[in-house]
């Protein structure tokens, strides 16, 4: 397949400025050179190369500091107007490896609630940036509210159980929570961001350094995909943190969801685009019915059309969401119910589309689609894992309720 | 509902053996597989954990299921001569598939090539006697394989109606009283060093579309010239090894051909419904297990501080999942009964278009529903959906390949179109 992806999967180019395009180009070069051109080697030495490629991305290229303000040594992409550029970067990373994409998306999501205008929290940025966005590669982990257990009566964030709590103690806070399931990297995280409830049950978020001895990490989970992220359940037992590490402004949890949907959407769109490249190559090199090139068979072509269609529309949805976030004067802040709901709706659609694209494409690849040798099965597992995490509870029950609440003014759901 | 046994199955179809055989296999599954299956992925290459469980299912040291198809006079159970062979197979596929669909396929694919010589009305007594000791007298599991797929054509070989076998490149040449076979096969279940016996669909005249030139020849795996590659690493199905197989001047006695010109093509067509019916059974078994796991999960986890199952929206999703399982099970038994009607005045031969196309259609439908509901169930579990501890994700990875194999979805659609609309050129 020799076609230029950006000319096939069009997006509003005007949303991304020239400086951003240079960074995006750099990330695409990294993806092609370090992963895509040597998939076999990457797969066979995955644990080692996962770390090395993350280092080259985060430290050599410097993406660890992408969303930090310039005065903190960052690229200065800490304005909502940068949303399309950040999403584009995640797309390029996702095209190479969704697990690196998720780790990066979570990092930018957590930093967004600290650094994004107009809510730039200088004190917290001063405290965290030098340690977690410096010269060493650091891993961030996000713990969202989700499902509870029968017998528990938990505070809720729009229906989701908040299983962690913060309480003031001395000049700081203590964080508690048992067996919390992060989205990623629980076993290895250097910094956690946890959605907690305060004493009144009001949602807030707490940043918890991973080196606290009162943090207990469970065994590393074996999951369908994204295993390189080394996830594990985490318990916080009276973990003390400074007062400034808790953010309780109105809508801060919604902000997390908004950015997470955008950035994981970016990862999945990138993965979908790479799957498109792979299935395209397959369809040009395989014959069926005794000699016809696969893509020239109308039935196979219709399946290929589905693949293209789903990836194409998912990329448009991604930039629709990025544009919405980038224009707070038009649509509201990322914490607003409108933008939060749009992010949920479009984020969910993107994941569904890419999942369907891969499921359809696998039908054409038969057993090869299932074999690790052909690499597409990793994309399939990774995207399903992202989708399941984003669903939160009960197959997107909260997303559906958020959507109905916004569009139909439901009061009791 | 009391438990997963309450999912519908047409009771009048059920074999008298059903209850007993299910009880024995369920006991085996709960004891030998369920506690260990989360470790199977890492055991894909060596089968250190998997192999003992197979021995207890298939070998004489355990239940001895590998001999079930053989006639009693040769030491078997005579299922090949039973009027309920398909229905019993469906039950076997369900029970083993509930624990692990890859084990189910590896076990039942052992029957697959043997159906061509052990199932009425095509019992080849000479070959049955030849191979009976291999399976009936073994303490440990012994596997067979159907070496069908070739590198160049994918599912073409299963599309005999269209290709007439012209794309087959594995060639058998008769020299004296021996077949000399040369060719390259991919992906058979139980390759990678597992099978002791292959059946090799091949051609006696390359490029021919005359089905008289299509042959099915049995080849013991230790015959000189048979080389198997190492197993492929896959997304799942660790208990089922697959590899390349090369046949280089492999010589076997001429009477190792299943039946001869024309009849080989017919029995090849007959094995397709076996594979399709078993595939549906595997998926139903996995779905029954999905229900067990999901029931516990939605009863103990909460949304808005109520059990998930008591939320109207989530109830609508899990209700649909259970409903689909119920429907798929009914359809699977209907497919099995279609096979069991093969010798009845009101039935159709299993090589007929009626049976082949309708079974492909049913398998396609059940596959689609299975892929969909496992994906949906993972979403119900949310952050736990991808967690191996809950087992649903394992089934999700495994059942996708059931949708893909045997020509996959598109061949099913073409067969359905051919049959229902009398298409002439597809």
DSSP B327-394: HHHHHHHHHHHHHHTTTSTTS--TTSHHHHHHHHHHHHHHHHHHHHHHHHHHHHHGGGTTBGGGSHHH
Which residue is it, tokens 């809720």?
A156
Residue B209 tokens, joined:
């579309």
Q: Which residues of A96-111 are buried (b: 16+ CB within 10 A; e: fewer)?
A: bbbbbbbbbbbbbbbb
CB contact under 8 A, B380 and A395: yes
Distance from CA of B401 to the nearest CA of A (A): 7
- The tokens describing A253, both together, are 């949890």
Residue B156 predicted with pLDDT over 70: no
pLDDT for residue B154 is more than 80: no
In angstroms, what CA-CA distances link A212 with A207, A235, A262, B20?
Answer: 12, 11, 31, 57
Residue B257 to residue B254: CA distance in whole angstroms = 6
Per-residue model confidence (pLDDT) at position B2: 81
Closest Cβ–Cβ partner in A147, A366, A373 for B382: A147
Provide the pLDDT for residue B256.
98
> Is A252-408 CATH 1.20.140.10?
yes
**Between chain A and chain B, how many beta carbons pairs sit less than 8 Å apart?**
179
| Chain A residues with CB-CB distance to B162 below 8 A | 289-290
Name beta bridge partners: A164.
A177, A196
Dihedral (CA of B82, B83, B86, B88) sign: negative
A153/B contact by beta carbon, under 8 A:
yes
Q: Which residues of B touch A394 (CB under 8 A)?
A: 298, 303, 308, 311, 313-314, 317, 380, 382
With beta carbons under 8 A apart, name residues in chain A contacting B303. Answer: 147-148, 159-161, 393-394, 397-398
Nearest in space to B269 (alpha carbons), one of B400, B362, B420, B148: B148
For B81, phi then psi, to 5°, come to -100, 5
Residue range A141-157: mean pLDDT, rounded: 97
**What residues in B contact A401, CB-CB < 8 Å?**
313
* Percent over 70 (pLDDT), chain A: 99
3-class secondary-structure state, position A204: strand
For chain A, the average pLDDT equals 95
Interface subset of A 45-64, CB within 8 angstroms of B:
none
Beta strands in A170-220 (DSSP E): 172-180, 191-197, 203-209, 215-217
Q: What residues of chain A lie within 8 A of the CB of B414, using their CB?
A: 299
pLDDT for B407:
82
Structure tokens at B28: 């085996």
pLDDT tops 80 at residue A313: yes
Instruction: Determine whether the interchain pair A149/B301 forms a contact, defined as Cβ–Cβ distance below 8 Å.
Output: yes
pLDDT at B153: 65
Q: Rounded mean pLDDT of B288-307?
A: 97
Whether chain B has a CB inside 8 Å of the CB on A146: the answer is yes
- Chain B CB contacts of A288 under 8 Å are 153-156
Tell me B221's DSSP state.
T
Pull the structure tokens for residue B301.
């986890």
Residue A344 contacts by C-beta under 8 Å, 6 or more apart in sequence?
A257, A261, A399, A402, A403
Using a CB-CB cut-off of 8 Å, the residues of chain A touching B397 are: 224, 381
**How confident is residue A291, by pLDDT bands cut at 50, 70 and 90?**
confident
Interface test with chain A among B230, B290, B300, B304, by most A beta carbons within 10 Å: B304
What pLDDT does residue B163 have?
A: 74
- Quick: pLDDT tens for A77-98: 999 999 999 999 999 999 999 9
Over residues B253-260, the mean pLDDT reads 98
CA pair distance A225, A233, nearest whole angstrom:
16
Name the residue ranges covered by the structural domains of chain A.
Answer: 5-138, 142-247, 252-408
Q: Using one digit for the tens of pLDDT, what is the confidence trace for A17-47? A: 999 999 999 999 999 999 999 999 999 999 8
Cα gap B114→B70, rounded to integer Å = 9
Q: What is the CATH number of domain A5-138?
A: 1.10.540.10
Pairing assessment for the beta strands A287-288 and A292-293 based on DSSP bridges? antiparallel
For A222, which residue in chain B has the nearest alpha carbon?
Answer: B388
Angle at alpha carbon of residue B224, lines to B222 and B228, rounded to 5°: 60
Its pTM stands at 0.95
At B335 the pLDDT is: 96
Q: Does A107 touch chain B (CB under 8 A)?
A: no
The DSSP bridge pattern shows strands A191-197 and A140-143 to be parallel
Distance CA B401, CA B407 (A): 11
**Sign of torsion over alpha carbons A352, A358, A359, A361:** positive
| Chain B residues touching residue A221 (CB < 8 angstroms) | 387-389
Instruction: Report CB contact under 8 Å: B305, A362.
Output: no
Q: Which residues of B touch A305 (CB under 8 A)?
A: none
Cα A346 to Cα A16, A146, B320, B332, distances in angstroms: 20, 20, 24, 38
Number of H helices, E strands in chain A: 13, 13
Partners of B403 on chain A (C-beta within 8 Å) are 363
Residue whose C-alpha is closest to residue B256's, from B130, B109, B76, B110: B130
pLDDT score, position B109: 97
Predicted confidence band of residue B155 (pLDDT cuts 50, 70, 90):
low
CB A232 within 8 A of CB A179: no
Residues of A in contact with B380 (CB under 8 A): 391, 394-395
The pLDDT, as a whole number, for residue A175 is 98
C-beta of residue A70 within 8 angstroms of C-beta of residue A82: no
Contact A373 B396 (CB under 8 A): no
Instruction: Inspect the interface and report whether the beta carbons of A395 and B401 lie closer than 8 Å.
Output: no
Q: Give me the pLDDT at residue A1, please.
A: 62
Chain B interface, mutation test: which of A152, A156, A224, A260, most B Cβ atoms within 10 Å? A224
What percent of chain B clears pLDDT 90, i.e. is strictly above it? Answer: 85
Average pLDDT for chain B: 94
Cβ contacts (< 8 Å) between A397 and chain B: which residues? 303, 311, 313-314
Binding-face residues of A in 218-277 toward B, CB within 8 A = 221-226
Smallest CA–CA distance, residue A28 to chain B, in Å, is: 27
- Does the distance separating the beta carbons of B149 and A397 come in below 8 Å? no
The DSSP code for A146 is: B
State the average pLDDT over residues B113-120.
Answer: 94
Are the C-beta atoms of A160 and A143 separated by less than 8 Å? no
Decide if domain A142-247 falls under CATH 2.40.110.10.
yes
> What is the pLDDT confidence band of residue B144, given thresholds at 50, 70 and 90?
very high
Q: How confident is the model at residue B345 (pLDDT cuts 50, 70, 90)?
A: confident
Going along chain B from its start, the domains and CATH numbers come out as 4-142 (1.10.540.10), 155-262 (2.40.110.10), 264-421 (1.20.140.10)
Helices (H), A327-396: 328-331, 337-370, 376-391
**Counting beta carbons within 10 angstroms of the beta carbon of residue B334, is it exposed (0 to 12), middle (13 to 18) or buried (19 or more)?**
middle
Minimal C-alpha gap between A73 and chain B (Å): 35
The CB-side HSE value for A315 (13 A sphere, CA atoms) comes to 28
Picking from A225, A366, A397, the nearest residue to B311 by CB comes out as: A397
Neighbouring-strand partners of residue B301: A149
Nearest CA in chain B to A373: B233
The pLDDT assigned to A366 comes to: 86
Residue A267: the pLDDT is 98
Q: Give the mean pLDDT of B109-131.
A: 95
Where is average pLDDT lowest: A139-143, A226-230, B239-243, B331-335?
A226-230
pLDDT digits (tens, 9 = 90+) for B25-76: 999 999 999 999 999 999 999 999 999 999 999 999 999 999 999 999 999 9
CB contacts of A369 in chain B (<8 Å) are 404
Question: How far apart are the C-alpha atoms of B266 and B212, rounded to whole Å?
Answer: 10
Burial class (CB in 10 A: 0-12, 13-18, 19+), A188: middle
Residue showing tokens 């048979």: B226
The arithmetic mean of pLDDT across residues A312-335, rounded, is 97
Between chains, do B166 and A290 touch, taking CB under 8 Å as contact? yes
Q: Is the ipTM of this complex over 0.90?
A: yes
> Mean pLDDT over residues B349-366, rounded?
93
Mutate which of B236, B244, B379, B406 to disrupt the A interface (most A C-beta within 10 Å)? Answer: B379
Identify each DSSP E strand in A86-210 by its residue range: 140-143, 148-149, 156-157, 160-161, 164-169, 172-180, 191-197, 203-209
CA distance A294 to chain B (A): 11
Tell me how far apart the alpha carbons of residues B406 and B253 are, in angstroms, rounded to a whole number: 29
Q: Do A370 and B234 touch (CB under 8 A)?
A: yes
């Amino acid at each position: 397949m020799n076609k230029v992806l950006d000319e096939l999967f069009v997006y509003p180019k005007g949303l991304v400025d020239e400086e951003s395009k240079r960074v995006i180009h750099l990330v695409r070069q990294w993806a092609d050179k370090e992963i895509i051109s040597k998939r076999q080697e990457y797969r066979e030495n995955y644990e080692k190369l996962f770390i090395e490629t993350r280092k080259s991305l985060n430290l050599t290229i410097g993406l660890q500091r992408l969303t930090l303000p310039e005065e903190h040594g960052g690229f200065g992409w800490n304005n909502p107007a940068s949303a399309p550029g950040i999403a584009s970067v995640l797309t390029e990373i996702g095209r190479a490896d969704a697990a690196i994409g998720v780790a990066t998306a979570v990092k930018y999501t957590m930093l967004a609630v600290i650094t994004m205008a107009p809510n730039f929290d200088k004190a917290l940025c001063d405290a965290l940036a030098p340690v977690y966005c410096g010269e060493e590669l650091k891993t961030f982990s996000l713990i969202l509210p989700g499902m509870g257990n029968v017998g528990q009566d938990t505070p809720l964030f729009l229906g989701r159980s908040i299983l962690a709590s913060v309480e003031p103690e001395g000049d700081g806070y203590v964080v508690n929570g048992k067996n919390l399931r992060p989205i990623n990297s629980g076993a290895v995280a250097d910094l956690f961001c946890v959605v907690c409830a305060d004493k009144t049950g009001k949602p807030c978020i707490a940043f918890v350094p991973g080196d606290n001895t009162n943090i207990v990490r469970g065994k590393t989970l074996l999951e369908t995909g994204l295993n390189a992220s080394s996830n594990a359940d985490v318990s916080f037992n009276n973990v003390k943190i400074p007062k400034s590490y808790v953010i309780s402004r109105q809508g801060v949890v919604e902000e997390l969801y908004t950015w997470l949907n955008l950035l994981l959407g970016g990862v999945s769109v990138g993965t979908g685009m790479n799957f498109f490249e792979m299935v395209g190559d397959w369809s040009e090199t395989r014959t069926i019915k005794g000699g016809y090139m696969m893509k020239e068979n109308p039935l196979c072509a219709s399946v290929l059309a589905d693949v293209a269609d789903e990836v194409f529309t998912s990329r448009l949805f991604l930039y629709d969401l990025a544009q919405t976030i980038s224009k707070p004067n038009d649509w509201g802040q990322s914490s607003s119910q409108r933008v939060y709901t749009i992010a949920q709706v479009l984020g969910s659609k993107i994941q569904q589309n890419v999942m369907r694209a891969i499921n359809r494409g696998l039908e054409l690849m038969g057993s090869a689609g299932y074999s690790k040798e052909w690499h597409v099965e990793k994309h399939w597992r990774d995207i399903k894992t992202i989708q399941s995490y984003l669903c939160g509870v009960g197959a997107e029950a909260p997303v559906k309720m958020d959507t109905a609440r916004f569009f139909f003014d439901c009061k009791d759901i | 509902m009391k438990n997963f046994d309450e999912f519908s199955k047409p009771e009048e179809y059920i074999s008298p053996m059903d209850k007993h055989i299910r009880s024995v296999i369920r006991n085996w599954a709960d004891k030998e597989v369920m506690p260990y299956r989360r470790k199977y992925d890492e055991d894909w290459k060596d089968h250190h954990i998997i192999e003992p469980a197979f021995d207890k299912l298939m070998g004489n040291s355990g239940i001895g299921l590998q001999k079930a198809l053989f006639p009693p006079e040769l030491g078997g159970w005579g299922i090949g001569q039973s009027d309920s062979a398909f229905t019993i197979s469906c039950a076997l596929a369900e029970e083993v598939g509930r624990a692990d669909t890859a084990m189910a396929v590896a076990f039942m694919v052992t029957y697959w090539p043997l159906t061509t010589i052990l199932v009425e009305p095509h019992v080849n007594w000479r070959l049955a006697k030849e191979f009976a000791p291999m399976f009936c007298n073994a303490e440990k599991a012994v596997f067979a394989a159907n070496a069908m797929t070739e590198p160049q054509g994918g599912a073409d070989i299963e599309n005999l109606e269209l290709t007439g076998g012209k794309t087959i490149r594995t060639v058998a040449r008769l020299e004296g009283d021996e077949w000399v076979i040369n060719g390259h096969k991919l992906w058979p279940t139980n390759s990678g060093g597992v099978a002791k016996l292959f059946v090799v669909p091949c051609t006696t005249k390359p490029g021919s579309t005359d089905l008289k030139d299509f042959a099915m020849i049995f080849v013991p795996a230790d015959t000189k010239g048979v080389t198997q590659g190492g197993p492929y690493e896959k997304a799942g199905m660790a208990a089922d090894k697959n590899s390349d197989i090369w046949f280089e001047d492999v010589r076997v006695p001429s009477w190792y051909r299943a039946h001869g010109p024309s009849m080989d093509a017919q029995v090849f067509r007959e094995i397709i419904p076996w594979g399709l019916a078993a595939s549906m059974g595997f998926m139903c078994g996995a779905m029954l297990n999905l229900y067990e796991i999901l029931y516990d999960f939605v009863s103990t986890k909460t949304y808005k501080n109520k059990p998930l199952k008591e939320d109207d929206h989530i109830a609508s999703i899990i209700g649909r999942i259970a409903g689909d399982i119920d429907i798929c099970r009914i359809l699977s038994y209907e497919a099995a009964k279609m096979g069991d009607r093969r010798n009845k005045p009101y039935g159709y031969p299993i090589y007929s278009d009626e049976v082949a196309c309708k079974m492909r259609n049913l398998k396609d439908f059940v596959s689609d529903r299975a892929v969909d509901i496992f994906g949906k169930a993972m979403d119900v579990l949310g952050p736990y959906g991808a967690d191996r501890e809950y087992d649903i994700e394992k089934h999700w990875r495994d059942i996708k390949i059931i949708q893909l194999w045997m020509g996959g979805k598109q061949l099913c659609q073409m067969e359905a179109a051919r049959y229902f609309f009398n298409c002439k050129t597809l």
